[in-house]
């Protein structure tokens, strides 16, 4: 009986420590990116591109409320002259699911010239979208548009990739699933750490090993 009680105490302590770590990391990510988040379009620095991150699209191609708010917000920034063009970054892994084409069509219907729109169908997640904006599209300066609960992690990733991007929240309404999305974001901060500091260094190591093997040959 004493052993069971001791085990339960240990489990409770581990649970409390785990929750504390989640909130501590979330606090650090938010604090380290706070200065990059702007609350008014007028205060935003001028940038080359508005980057709009993808979100759910309905089967008929209609944007979900989360994604529509992002695109509408990006459009307001563009019309205010704060950026010259768009990069739409999202998921197009499946033939019948295409976030970037849905966003592009939405902007074209609102008289944005096609030449002002670039699309990245390989922006499968936040890390890939931020990394590819630099490696594939060579964007010198950008304003990233997504919801406020998603901005800290997005800017934390871009900062640690050496990208000096600003962020603007697309919060036009309260979302039905917002509470679960907020908690998901807190956990996703650990994924960001893995992508930035573990996976990236592992790739560098593999690349270095490959070069060594080539030289030996």
Neighbours of 163 (CB within 10 A): 19
Helical spans, DSSP H, in the chain:
2-33, 65-79, 99-108, 126-135, 151-160, 178-193, 200-216
Position 211 scores a pLDDT of 38
Position 131 scores a pLDDT of 94
| Res. 91: pLDDT tops 90 | no
Q: Give percent above pLDDT 70 in the chain.
A: 91
Cβ neighbours of residue 43 closer than 8 Å, sequence gap 6 or more? none
The sign of the dihedral angle between the CA atoms of 110, 116, 122, 124 is negative
- Taking the C-alpha atoms of residue 127 and residue 141, their distance in angstroms, rounded to an integer, is 17
Neighbours of 50 (CB within 10 A): 27
Distances (CA, A) of 149 to 39, 174, 210: 14, 12, 40
Domain boundaries along the sequence of the chain? 32-198
Distances (CA, A) of 5 to 2, 17, 18, 31, 214: 5, 18, 20, 39, 58
- Taking the C-alpha atoms of residue 124 and residue 103, their distance in angstroms, rounded to an integer, is 15
Position 2 scores a pLDDT of 74
Position 138 scores a pLDDT of 92
Position 203 scores a pLDDT of 54
CA 172 to chain centre: 18
Confidence of residue 4 (pLDDT cuts 50, 70, 90): confident
Confidence of residue 217 (pLDDT cuts 50, 70, 90): very low
| pLDDT tens track for 49-72 | 999 999 999 888 899 999 999 999
Confidence of residue 175 (pLDDT cuts 50, 70, 90): confident
Q: Return the structure tokens found at 189.
A: 């901060």
| Res. 147: pLDDT tops 80 | yes
- Taking the C-alpha atoms of residue 100 and residue 144, their distance in angstroms, rounded to an integer, is 15
Position 183 scores a pLDDT of 87
Position 200 scores a pLDDT of 61
Position 204 scores a pLDDT of 52
| Res. 36: pLDDT tops 70 | yes
Position 213 scores a pLDDT of 42
At residue 48, the 3 state secondary structure works out as strand
Position 96 scores a pLDDT of 75
- CATH topology for 32-198 is Rossmann fold (3.40.50)
Quickly list DSSP for 86-98.
Answer: EEEE-B--STT--
- Work out the average pLDDT over 130-157: 94
pLDDT, greater one: 182 or 37: 37
pLDDT, greater one: 203 or 44: 44
Evaluate whether 141 touches 85 at the Cβ level (below 8 Å).
no
Q: What torsion do the CA atoms of 196, 197, 203, 207 make, to the nearest 10 degrees?
A: 120
Edge-to-edge strand list for the sheet holding 166-169: 117-120, 83-89, 47-53, 142-146, 166-169
């Amino acid at each position: 009986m004493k052993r069971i009680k001791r085990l339960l105490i240990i489990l409770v302590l581990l649970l409390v420590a785990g929750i504390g770590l989640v909130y501590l990391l979330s606090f650090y990510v938010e604090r380290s990116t706070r200065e990059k988040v702007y609350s008014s379009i007028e205060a935003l620095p001028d940038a080359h591109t508005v980057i709009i991150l993808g979100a759910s699209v309905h089967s008929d191609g209609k944007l979900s409320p989360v994604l529509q708010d992002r695109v509408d917000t990006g459009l307001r920034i563009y019309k205010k002259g704060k950026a010259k063009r768009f990069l739409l970054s999202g998921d197009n892994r499946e033939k019948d699911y295409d976030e970037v084409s849905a966003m592009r069509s939405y902007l074209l219907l609102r008289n944005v010239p096609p030449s002002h729109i670039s699309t990245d169908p390989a922006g499968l997640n936040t890390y890939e979208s931020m990394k590819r904006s630099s490696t594939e599209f060579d964007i010198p300066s950008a304003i990233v548009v997504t919801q406020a609960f998603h901005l800290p992690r997005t800017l934390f990733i871009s900062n640690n990739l050496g990208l000096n991007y600003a962020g603007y929240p697309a919060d036009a309404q309260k979302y039905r699933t917002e509470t679960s999305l907020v908690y998901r974001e807190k956990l996703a901060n650990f994924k960001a750490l893995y992508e930035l500091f573990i996976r990236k260094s592992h790739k560098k190591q593999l690349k270095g090993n490959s070069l060594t093997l080539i030289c030996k040959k």
